[in-house]
Structure 1
Amino acid sequence: MPTSPVWGSRLKTRGVVLDLIRAARTISRVELAASSGLTPPTISEAVRDLMTDGLVVEAGRGASTGGKPPTLLQLNPNARYSVGVQLERNACVIVIVDLAGRQVARTSFRGTAQMPPQQALPFLATHVNGLLDAAAVDRDRVLGVGLVSYGPQDRHAGLLLTPQPTDEWFDYPVAPRLAEILGMPVVLDNDAAAAAIGEYWIGTVDPRSTYGCIYMATGIGGGVVVAGEVYRGSSSNSVEIGHISIDVHGDECPCGNRGCLENYAGPAAVVRQALDTPGLADQLVLDPAGTDFLSEFARIAAAANAGNADARHLIEQSARYLGCAAVTITSLFDLDLIVLAGPSFAVAGSIYQTLIQQEVDRRTFARRAHPVRVVPSVSGSDAAAVGGAVLVLQSELTVGHAHAEDGMLPVRITSAGSTSSTRSPRDQRSIPE
């Protein structure tokens, strides 16, 4: 049944008001009207609806400006929860966040690289259920799961379009299958895009900022956020900076391009370079046959911090390459901020931050018009998992969480490639963008 224009407008208003309350932490109705441009009666109606649903609560009185002190509003953090899952080649992180974006539970374990998806996803679901049980989170309050991973991917169908870590994962319906096992909605998204939007939600980025995120785990990815919205491109596979060509005559990459950044600056590349450096592999006890590039890379980064000249050279070389990528996305999108996120920045992040900042300061096209800051993610290694949970929460804040009788329940993926919903065909998706 198509959504009426009146209901669509009501949802939009509700989402605007809820997002303003989230961003302000505490705010009065008068301030909401001034910030949104909506009329006081419209604000009162939207706030009343949100309070009836338990999403917003009153939080005492604000300072008086001459009359009656205003009543302050804030999100009710326990009203809703979401789960974020970072599915990496070598590691997996699961977090639960509340409606305010605060992390309430976390677990991590070795990745599922050696498992076929038919085995890995039930294993993953067991960990999700175990974490929800341990945190005593009521599943009726869980909006869904944000499953974030590397690309390319078909976000709407919930498919990975890459034969990594093995051919069995290619074109496998990871989101529909996980939703079926868990019995709750699951949305698939890019890990770098998720990490980028997570910074906005948590409130560490100016809402007016146009900023980018460089995400480095086993590979390198990127994301750009404009006015609180992730830049998606035509298929949600945008800003793949790891596959920017930095050498047109370089080796062919599995992605099809040549001379990709990831093959020069990514953790796997740094590990290969370390293995080729005389004596370094023995010093750091690197495994030539190993596949856990995150752990091996962390050893190299730690040695760089400790003053090992060869390790330092490799990390600085990687950082300079990433600086080149940062200059590229800054010039393309006219960014004013770059966030460094992901587990591979955990140990040597200060080296990367310093050298990337130097490259941006020296080479960015618009450097005389405005500065560009390079900063670490507030969520660190968990940025993608937290961002995955945030993407689910955004469905609450952008269009509002409607009731079954309104015909607007989130799509529940019931089997591979199929969905059930009462939305109009144009709105068929598991989590609204």
Structure 2
Amino acid sequence: MGDYNQSVILDSIRRAEEGLSRVELAASAGLAAQTVSNICRRLLDTGLIIEAGKEASGPGKPRTMLRLNPKGMYAVGIHIDPALTSYALLDAVGTVLLSLDEPTDLAGDPFEVVAAMGAKVRHIIDESGVDEQRIAGVGVATPGPVDAASGTVVNPPHMPGWARVPLRDILHEITGLPVIVDKDVTAAAVAEVWAGSTSSVRDFVFVYIGTGIGAGLVLNDEVVRGSSGNVGEIGHIIADPDGPECDCGRRGCIKVTCMPETLVAQARAAGVLPEASPDEASLPQDMADLAQAAAEGNPAALDILTQSAHRLAGAASVLTNLLDVERVVFGGPFWPPLAPTHLATIPALIEHYSVTTSVHSVNVVGTMVSSGEEAFGAACLVMENTFSPNAARLLLDSKG
């Protein structure tokens, strides 16, 4: 209960741009004034929060405002995509202090590749000069499926040979830091909650467009992970009943109609892009070239991206109708080249497909996380674990 209450206080302070006084914290958290005072004293002693001046609010003594201490805690994020692996170091208020990316090594032994990632984290920490005792941990965002209980990635479709790779154990051994492993789509949803901390929207679906496509889910302001940590596997939602055959035996699944490699293949077949052998490492540039061709008015390129937008809108509407959410957020490494055509097409389609149009609209937006900062979401897994209250923390185990 003490940990939960502390998380409530930290989360309330985090969400208040100007900070909060102890009196305001007691009112917002529904806790006794003495409880709030004790928690705040402990947080001040550990350096997680600071007193940030006084503010008058009517008669009586000015109240001391409390804010997060940017230097009170840090987190490292690793975002693994089959095309690119990125790293970021964040302070307690979410400022990216250092970031870098490199092509993902799919040819090497996965265990050695992950060990090299750990060495890269050590290098980032050493280069940053931050107090290592203030680093709360390493967050890892990886393509699914994952075994969340053991921190293991299990046969991601676009990463051959990565069969049950124990990311958490390897990285903990190399870095000496606590490690949290989660799916890339879940980390993206966490990042959106973190980046949009003052938003009034408490329920949304995050459609993640990386080398693969998945969905993150936030309900009642809490990230949903599912029974095994694998929520959001939407690759076999049918986006085009007349589309190509999928390996599941059906036709037109997202997996074979909407993914970046599919769009690039269509662009090559239409002469928009030059013929070349498939290479996931070239996907970012290929997608950028396809988007540029569409922006310049190439009709074939426009048709490919518009068709993709229609298919994704249909798939997203399945989620919005099932879950009755207020917003759909699109993001991920390959979202930027798709954004112009998709944001021009998808909102009206979602509104048309929605069964709740007469009750509420469904807002369609692009992610608040900047392109190229996917590792921000991975680091936010650590921040969420520290700052965000979770009702599960109140549950006792069967022996309790």
Please state if 1:287 is matched with 2:276. yes
Report the counterpart of residue 269 of structure 1 in structure 2. Answer: 262
Report the counterpart of residue 335 of structure 1 in structure 2. Answer: 325
| Structure 2: gaps (5+ residues) | none
Quick one: distance in 1 between partners of 2:260 and 2:23? 51
1:246 shift after superposition:
3.0
Report the counterpart of residue 190 of structure 1 in structure 2. Answer: 183
Letter paired with 1:135:
S
Report the counterpart of residue 309 of structure 2 in structure 1. Answer: 319
1:425 shift after superposition:
7.4
CA contact (8 A) 1:210 1:226 kept: yes
- CA displacement 1:193-226 (0-9 Å, x = unmatched): 1111111112356255201111111111111112
Report the counterpart of residue 403 of structure 1 in structure 2. Answer: none
Quick one: distance in 2 between partners of 1:20 and 1:81? 19
Report the counterpart of residue 101 of structure 1 in structure 2. Answer: 94
Letter paired with 1:234:
S
CA contact (8 A) 1:122 1:181 kept: yes
Evaluate the alpha carbon distance shift between residue 205 and residue 223 of structure 1 in structure 2; reply closer, same or farther with a 3 A threshold: farther
SS at match of 2:280: coil
Report the counterpart of residue 24 of structure 2 in structure 1. Answer: 31
Q: Which stretch has the larger CA shift, 257-266 or 148-157?
A: 257-266
The one of 299, 321, 335 equivalent to 2:289 is: 299
Evaluate the alpha carbon distance shift between residue 298 and residue 48 of structure 1 in structure 2; reply closer, same or farther with a 3 A threshold: same
Quick one: distance in 1 between partners of 2:260 and 2:160? 22
Letter paired with 1:197:
V
CA contact (8 A) 1:304 1:348 kept: no
Report the counterpart of residue 232 of structure 2 in structure 1. Answer: 239
Quick one: distance in 2 between partners of 1:209 and 1:112? 38
CA contact (8 A) 1:158 1:175 kept: yes
Report the counterpart of residue 172 of structure 2 in structure 1. Answer: 179
| Structure 1: gaps (5+ residues) | 1-8, 401-407, 409-423, 428-433
The one of 44, 53, 56 equivalent to 1:51 is: 44
The one of 4, 10, 14 equivalent to 2:6 is: 14
Evaluate the alpha carbon distance shift between residue 107 and residue 350 of structure 1 in structure 2; reply closer, same or farther with a 3 A threshold: same
Please state if 1:309 is matched with 2:299. yes
Report the counterpart of residue 391 of structure 1 in structure 2. Answer: 381
1:254 shift after superposition:
4.9
1:123 shift after superposition:
2.3
Calculate the aligned-residue CA RMSD, in Å: 2.3
Letter paired with 1:54:
G
Quick one: distance in 1 between partners of 2:125 and 2:212? 29
Letter paired with 1:299:
D
SS at match of 1:374: strand
SS at match of 2:31: coil
Report the counterpart of residue 212 of structure 2 in structure 1. Answer: 219
Quick one: distance in 2 between partners of 1:125 and 1:426? 36
Q: Using structure 2 for the length normalisation, give the TM-score.
A: 0.91
Q: Using structure 1 for the length normalisation, give the TM-score.
A: 0.85
1:128 shift after superposition:
1.6
SS at match of 1:378: coil
Quick one: distance in 2 between partners of 1:170 and 1:249? 33
1:238 shift after superposition:
1.1
1:73 shift after superposition:
0.4
Quick one: distance in 2 between partners of 1:289 and 1:225? 35
Evaluate the alpha carbon distance shift between residue 204 and residue 367 of structure 1 in structure 2; reply closer, same or farther with a 3 A threshold: farther
Evaluate the alpha carbon distance shift between residue 289 and residue 391 of structure 1 in structure 2; reply closer, same or farther with a 3 A threshold: closer
1:290 shift after superposition:
2.8
1:140 shift after superposition:
1.4
Percent of paired sites with the same residue: 34
Quick one: distance in 2 between partners of 1:150 and 1:56? 34
Report the counterpart of residue 141 of structure 2 in structure 1. Answer: 148
Please state if 1:347 is matched with 2:337. yes
- CA displacement 1:55-78 (0-9 Å, x = unmatched): 111101123312211110001111
Quick one: distance in 1 between partners of 2:182 and 2:174? 19
Evaluate the alpha carbon distance shift between residue 238 and residue 252 of structure 1 in structure 2; reply closer, same or farther with a 3 A threshold: farther
